[in-house]
Amino acid sequence: MSVQSRQPRDVARRLADRARTVRGGRGDGWRRETFTLERVAARAKAREWFDLYPKAAYMTEIEFWRELDDGRIEFTIRRLPSAD
């Protein structure tokens, strides 16, 4: 039987490793794509995704967005891979 260390740093390391696996797009079931576009193009791209993958069926959403110093918009959109 393996004895795991119970030091706080060991527990934190295991939790961080598990979180990286989930955030990497593996294991949580979401498809993500990040875009960096001019404001008008960003709106058009988001509308395209919502038209292709409706929120009601794919749970599509803008997960993160920010305006860059040059005025472009960087955003990450996520959706479920398929709808039932």
Q: Would you list the domain boundaries of the chain?
A: 31-84
Strand order in the sheet with 61-67: 31-37, 73-79, 61-67
53-63 average pLDDT score:
92
- State residue 16's pLDDT score: 74
Q: Select the more confidently predicted residue: 2 or 81.
A: 81
pLDDT band at 3; cut points 50, 70, 90? low
- State residue 1's pLDDT score: 47
What CATH topology corresponds to 31-84?
Answer: Defensin A-like (3.30.30)
3-class DSSP assignment, residue 49: helix
pLDDT band at 67; cut points 50, 70, 90? very high
53 pLDDT above the threshold of 50: yes
